[in-house]
A and B are shown apart, each in its own frame.
Chain A
Amino acid sequence: MKLDRYPYYANASFFDFDFESEGPKGKIRKIARFIKIRRNLYSFGFGDLDANTGDISDTVVSNNGDGVKVLATVAYIVYDFTTMYRDAAIYIEGSTPARTRWYQMNIGAYMLEINVIFEIYGFQNARWEPFRKGINYKAFMGQRRQLPDQLFDDQQHKAGS
């Protein structure tokens, strides 16, 4: 699956990411971070950086006409992070119900492709369940599936150790 995305940067820890959205409103710097909750469990957040104040906001509506490209970039970031931290489970919740719904619609739109790589869960009616299209969830959780390439990598490590 190839999606149009922005180039993005990470620091050496691979917890912090940075990219620029470009559109009619100009360039908007976006910061994304994985926050460790406990072992192998991370919360993910991203927002617009105000270079003057240093504030980050995920409630401001950028209106830069590139929402799909921004979300695709975020999807690549999540994929990359879980390439680095294979056992990480990622918790994601939109800053507003509308944003959470937007995430849900985009996960749903690519579910066939996503489902091969990630286990995705949605939270509704006070419980987690495997993600289903068309359901309004309050939050999401995803984790990389154990794929053959990972098994191969693990075997390579074992063989090399």
Chain B
Amino acid sequence: MSLKKKSSKKAAISKTSAIISDKVGNYEHHPFFVKKAEKAKAFLNANGLPKGLSGKH
């Protein structure tokens, strides 16, 4: 990550209420969230996104 990106991430974190902790695991590959993602993908592929949504998705 570039220095600029790092400092902008740090600035954004300072605006949040979350406490950053190493004790929070990474659940990216947890079956619960994998299933959720698959379900969401299927739904969004079938139904698309709201038309008013701004930005690139």
Q: A residues bordering B, Cβ < 8 Å? A: 7-18, 31, 33, 35, 37-41, 43, 45, 47, 54-58, 76-77, 79-80, 83-84, 87, 89, 91, 93, 119, 121, 123, 126-130, 139, 141, 143, 146, 153, 157, 161
Q: DSSP class of B's interface residues: helix, strand, loop or mixed? A: loop
Pick from B12, B20, B54: contact of A12, CB below 8 A: B20
CB pair B4–A161 under 8 Å, yes or no, is: yes
Annotate B28-53 by CB proximity to A: 1 below 8 A, 0 otherwise. 10101100110111011001111111
Pick from A10, A31, A38, A146: contact of B21, CB below 8 A: A10
Given contacts A35-B40, A128-B48, A139-B43, contact A56 B32 (CB under 8 A): yes
Chain A residues, CB < 8 A from B22: 11-12
CB pair B25–A11 under 8 Å, yes or no, is: yes
CB pair B56–A35 under 8 Å, yes or no, is: no
CB pair A14–B40 under 8 Å, yes or no, is: no
**Cα distance A3–B23 when bound, in Å?**
25
Given contacts A55-B32, A56-B30, contact A130 B19 (CB under 8 A): no
**Cα distance A80–B9 when bound, in Å?**
12
Shortest CB-to-CB span from A70 to chain B, Å, is: 15
Residue of B nearest to A92 (CB): B40
CB pair A16–B19 under 8 Å, yes or no, is: no
Inter-chain pairs besides A12-B20, A121-B50, 7 sampled, C-beta below 8 Å: A33-B30, A55-B32, A84-B16, A89-B55, A130-B50, A143-B54, A153-B11
Shortest CB-to-CB span from B33 to chain A, Å, is: 5
CB pair A76–B40 under 8 Å, yes or no, is: no
B 3-23 contacts with A by CB, 8 A: 4, 8-9, 11-13, 15-23
Pick from A10, A15, A57: contact of B32, CB below 8 A: A57
